[in-house]
Amino acid sequence: MGLYQKLPADIKEVDIIIAGGGTAGCIVAGRLTEADPGLSILVIEGGQENYDNPKVVTPALYPLNFQPDSETAIFYKSAKSKYIANREYIVPSGGTLGGGSSMNFLMYTRAQRDDYDSWNTPGWTTDELWPYLKKIETYHGPGNPEHHGFSGPIQVSDGPYRGKSIEDDWLRAAEQVGYPEIKDLQSLDTNNGFQRWLKYATPEGKRSDVARGYIHPRLRDGKHPNLHVLVENNVVRVLVDENKRAYGVEFTPNTRFQAQVNGSASHPKQTIRARKLVVVSCGACGTPPVLERSGIGSREILDRAGVPVVQELPGVGSGYQDHLKIPIVFKTSLSQDETADALLSGRLSLEDAIAQEHPHLGWNFADLASKIRPTDAEAVALGPEFQASWERDFKNRPNRPLIVMVVVSGLYGDNASVLPTGQFVSLLPFTAYSYSRGHMHITGPEVGDALDFNTGFFNDKDDIDLKKLIWSYKKGREIMRRTSMYRGEHQPCHPRFPKGSKAALIEEWNQPAEGGPVVDLEYSVEDDAAIEKYIREHVETSWHSLGTAKMAPQDKMGVVDKNLNVYGVRGLKVVDMSIAPENVGANTANTAMMIGEKAADIIAKELGLVLK
């Protein structure tokens, strides 16, 4: 099997090097080696092998991947920012074979038709991308069969367990405030409602990630001897010759997983050559540092970092985007079997859950989510600046959601605050198209040098992203107040409203007498200020980093062309979410998979291969 922690001495040159074994990179490697088993391919991944890791395979354990001691994540620390209460912020990213697909929430969410069309790139319109979206999946859900695939490597299903009581209660309440249940929000053309979400999992309850779908079968079938996967090694830089052609990479063992050599402070570097192509696929946070250490980027940044300029491309590392998220938690009347709180809090131990073959082990606790928009009147109420952005970017584009709202069956966040018998429901609304922008750059030539990272959260003009989350906080609270399970707010995950506020949190909810209607809360200017303070202090990443090596014209800060070639450097492509020129109204895993499939097709055609 061609899986190594140290590259065999006899492998000195391959046809294609893929720097990064994440979501898109694994798909490229799997598809190309399937098309031509004689093609020698090397994937270099900084993280560990993931095949038998229970934190990867077992859906319910995904929260462990985001803990500070996680070995399946890379943690990128952003600079302090006045916009988020002077906090430093940590953005986790996929740090294992399979990347984000091996450690995320498992939420199956596709982008909207307008999203891909907005990329304004030949070959990348929605209609042109449909075949790749179908090719990814084996779909076990509702909707029009024409919109889905049924023989792909990635399983999309309900899994073995759903929290039906929460689903039914929530959907009834959402209908009351104007958001219907939509059977399939992933058709690319449906919007403004809630869906009983599916997950990247087998019907039996195992995570379906790209490593298991595209890589492991070919490493183990004995038919693809030229597929090599090197784990626990970091790519330092791409090697580029005097003719500006990429001819290999420099890499070094990841000291996080491999002991230091002879007591030295760092590992020796190695190089390997690529006869045909180098693909950088390290993600929106990891790809810019690799390019910049290779001498590809802004001259000013490279000069400051002490890296000789090979190709000046000021777009590298600029335009960082994420979906901004805010956690909101409610107390409920639910039983222990209806939420994941027992398992999340440790009241039900993992050992006991495994011994009992507990159905929650195959659950990701996120059975409901939405793509929603405000009414025109609600947009006006958010002020003239918000109204202007609404009319420019949303009003006449009904395909674009303002917010994606996820309903989690349990307490999301610090489980130390869970009451011994508490059962909770959490809302995680995030901005579908953030206006905030940040950057990711190097400060020196080595892997271990500090990164200059700024998420840019809430640095947008007129605080439009903040106002989106203020609206979503109020809207989510109104839906929850209309459910039968609602029993008040969990104070640590809500604003602290001023004394006497009509929107004050309650300790215990009493339903209106005789089934009377729930009346919307009234918020004062002071209440809005309290919500703003809470959001700035608690806003989070959605782990949806993108846009740092855009597919766009060079004069528009583009880094790659429509065929994912890095401008000015032959034999070098970028294949990951960093190439997205505009955001998508969805979790980004599906788009990353689509990019991998599309890139594999582009490369195959250039090599004269036909993909299966």
Q: pLDDT band for position 599 (50/70/90)?
A: very high
70-77: Cβ within 8 A, 24+ apart? 70/95, 70/103, 71/47, 71/95, 71/96, 71/256, 71/257, 72/47, 72/48, 72/96, 72/102, 72/103, 73/103, 74/46, 74/47, 74/285, 74/286, 76/285, 76/440, 76/451, 76/453, 77/451, 77/453
- Measure the CA–CA gap between 316 and 105, rounded to whole angstroms: 28
Q: How far is CA 485 from CA 347, 426, 430, 453, 491, in A?
A: 21, 12, 23, 42, 17
Q: Are 195 and 181 in contact (CB under 8 A)?
A: yes
Q: pLDDT band for position 612 (50/70/90)?
A: confident
Fold of 56-90+100-205+322-541: Glucose Oxidase; domain 3 (3.30.560)
Q: pLDDT band for position 143 (50/70/90)?
A: very high
Note the pLDDT of residue 315. Answer: 98
3-state secondary structure of 45: coil
- The string of pLDDT tens digits covering residues 178-215 is 999 999 999 999 999 999 999 999 999 999 999 999 99
Cα angle, residue 313 at apex, residues 308 and 319 outer, rounded to 5°:
125
- The string of pLDDT tens digits covering residues 551-572 is 999 999 999 999 999 999 999 9
Instruction: Give me the residue label for tokens 């304004």.
Output: 120
Residue 36 has pLDDT above 60, yes or no: yes
Across-strand partners of 271?
250
Residue 167 has pLDDT above 80, yes or no: yes
Residue 417 has pLDDT above 80, yes or no: no
Mean pLDDT of the chain: 95
Residue 516 has pLDDT above 80, yes or no: no
Residue 326 has pLDDT above 70, yes or no: yes
Q: Give the CA dihedral 384, 389, 391, 393, nearest 10 degrees.
A: -170
Residue 550 has pLDDT above 90, yes or no: yes
The answer for residues whose C-beta is within 8 angstroms of residue 338's C-beta and 6 or more apart is: 163, 165, 166, 409, 423
User: What is the helix, strand, coil percentage profile of the chain, to 5?
Assistant: 30, 25, 45
Closest C-alpha to 604, from 28, 78, 140: 28
Across the range 43-58, mean pLDDT stands at: 96
Percentage of the residues of the chain whose pLDDT score is greater than 70: 96
- The string of pLDDT tens digits covering residues 332-348 is 999 999 999 999 888 89
Note the pLDDT of residue 191. Answer: 98
Q: pLDDT band for position 124 (50/70/90)?
A: very high
Note the pLDDT of residue 69. Answer: 93
Residue 515 has pLDDT above 90, yes or no: no
Q: Are 576 and 20 in contact (CB under 8 A)?
A: yes
Q: Tokens representing 145?
A: 């069969």
**pTM attached to this predicted model:** 0.97
Q: Are 67 and 103 in contact (CB under 8 A)?
A: no
| Active site annotation includes 267 | no
- Measure the CA–CA gap between 311 and 234, rounded to whole angstroms: 22
Across the range 158-172, mean pLDDT stands at: 97
- Measure the CA–CA gap between 400 and 358, rounded to whole angstroms: 39
Catalytic residue, candidates 224, 323, 360, 544 = 544
Ordered alpha helix ranges (H), 137-252? 164-176, 210, 216-220
Residue 588 has pLDDT above 60, yes or no: yes
Note the pLDDT of residue 9. Answer: 95
For every residue of 567-595, which 3-state class applies, written as one string? CCCECEEECCHHHCCCCCCCCCHHHHHHH
Q: How many residues does the chain have?
A: 612
Residue 265 has pLDDT above 80, yes or no: no
Residue 509 has pLDDT above 80, yes or no: no
Residue 363 has pLDDT above 80, yes or no: yes
- The string of pLDDT tens digits covering residues 268-310 is 899 999 999 999 999 999 999 999 999 999 999 999 999 999 9
Burial 197-234 (b: 16+ CB within 10 A, else e): bbbbbbeebbbbbbbbbbbbebbeeeebebbbbbbbbb
- The string of pLDDT tens digits covering residues 521-538 is 999 999 999 999 999 999
Q: Are 332 and 487 in contact (CB under 8 A)?
A: yes
For every residue of 358-389, which 3-state class applies, written as one string? CHHHHCCCCCEEEEECCCHHHHHHCCHHHHHH
- Measure the CA–CA gap between 320 and 305, rounded to whole angstroms: 20
Residue 584 has pLDDT above 70, yes or no: yes
- The domain spans of the chain are 56-90+100-205+322-541
Note the pLDDT of residue 235. Answer: 98
For residue 152, which amino acid is it? G
Residue 153 has pLDDT above 90, yes or no: yes
Closest C-alpha to 210, from 26, 362, 19: 26
Q: Give the CA dihedral 123, 124, 128, 133, nearest 10 degrees.
A: 140
- Measure the CA–CA gap between 503 and 500, rounded to whole angstroms: 9
Cα angle, residue 604 at apex, residues 601 and 605 outer, rounded to 5°:
85
- Measure the CA–CA gap between 54 and 60, rounded to whole angstroms: 10
Q: pLDDT band for position 414 (50/70/90)?
A: low
- The string of pLDDT tens digits covering residues 457-472 is 999 999 999 999 999 9
Across-strand partners of 453?
440
Q: pLDDT band for position 1 (50/70/90)?
A: confident
- Measure the CA–CA gap between 176 and 274, rounded to whole angstroms: 59
The answer for residues whose C-beta is within 8 angstroms of residue 68's C-beta and 6 or more apart is: 75
- The string of pLDDT tens digits covering residues 208-255 is 999 999 999 999 999 999 999 999 999 999 999 999 999 999 999 999
Ordered alpha helix ranges (H), 6-49? 23-35
